[in-house]
Copies of this chain bind each other. A is one copy, B any other.
C-alpha cells in the first residue's frame, strides 16, 4: 500500500491532510482526509472516523465540519473517507441517492455494483490497515466512529458490528432504519438484492433487534430537518435501544436542518463524547 499526499495545511496547531491511494476493496483510487492534532513526538492518539452522507466526498466535512478546533483541544485524529468508489470505469446512476456518492457502507452483491461498491470492507478493514501502516501516531486500539445521514447509518451499523473496536459511536441525523425508508430500500435493494433478510446486517434497528449491542450512543437530530419523518426516523432507533437496554442520548435540536450548519454546531460535542470514551 502506498499513499499519495494531495495536500497538507497547518490548522489549529496540527495538520490537515488529503491523501489518495489505490484501494483493493473498491478497485479504484480512493481519496480521504486526515486531521492530526498537535501532539508530542512519540505520542499515540485516538482516532475518530467520520462517515459522510449522500453526494458527499471527504471534502464536505473537511471544509465545513469545524472539527479541527475540538480535535486539537482533545488530541483526537479525525479521518473522513469518501462515500463510494468513483471514476469513469465505475458504474453510476443518475439519481443522487444511488451509485457514485451513495455507497451506503455495504458490500454490494448485485451487478453491476458488486465489482467496485465495497464500502463496508473499505471503511471497516482496508482503510484502518492503511492508517495503521502510514500514521504512526494513530492508536487503532482507541477508535470511535460518527457520521451524518447515510454516514450516520454507516457509523451505527459499523459500530454495532464491531463493539470491541469502536468505544464511541455517535451520529448526526442518521438514517436509523434504512430497511423502512425510501433511501434505504432503494440502496439496500439495489446493492444487496430483494431478499430483505440480507438487509438486516446493514440496518441499525434490525441489528439491535437481532442482538447487536453497544454500551451507549449519542444522536443529534434537527427538528427542522426536511428528511426527519420520511427518511431518518430516530423514533425507531429510540424504540430499538429502549427494548435492548442501550443507553441512547437522542437530542432533538430545535430549528436545525440537515446541513453542515447543523453538523458544525454540534461537532465539538461529538468530538468530546468520543474523547471521553477513548482515554487511554
Using a CB–CB cutoff of 8 Å, the interface residues on chain A facing chain B are 9-13, 16, 63-64, 66, 68-69, 222, 224, 255-257, 259-262, 264-265
Minimal beta-carbon separation of A261 from chain B (angstroms):
4
Please state if B261 and A11 are interface contacts (CB–CB under 8 Å): yes
Minimal beta-carbon separation of A66 from chain B (angstroms):
5
Complex Cα gap A262–B11 (Å): 6
Whether A261 touches B64, Cβ cut-off 8 Å, given contacts A10-B224, A256-B10, is no
- The contact sample of 26 A-B pairs, CB cut-off 8 A, is A9-B261, A9-B262, A10-B224, A10-B255, A10-B256, A10-B257, A10-B262, A10-B265, A11-B261, A11-B262, A11-B264, A11-B265, A12-B264, A13-B265, A16-B261, A63-B63, A63-B64, A63-B260, A64-B64, A66-B66, A66-B69, A66-B264, A68-B261, A68-B264, A68-B265, A69-B69
Complex Cα gap A13–B261 (Å): 10
Q: Chain A: interface secondary structure?
A: mixed
- Chain B residues near A9 (CB-CB < 8 A): 256-257, 259, 261-262
- Chain B residues near A16 (CB-CB < 8 A): 261
Minimal beta-carbon separation of A110 from chain B (angstroms):
36
Complex Cα gap A68–B63 (Å): 14
Copies of this chain, tallied across the complex: 2
Minimal beta-carbon separation of A251 from chain B (angstroms):
14
Known: A11-B261, A13-B265, A16-B261. 6 other contacts (CB 8 A): A9-B262, A10-B265, A63-B63, A66-B66, A66-B69, A68-B261
- Chain B residues near A222 (CB-CB < 8 A): 10
- Chain B residues near A260 (CB-CB < 8 A): 63
Minimal beta-carbon separation of A221 from chain B (angstroms):
13
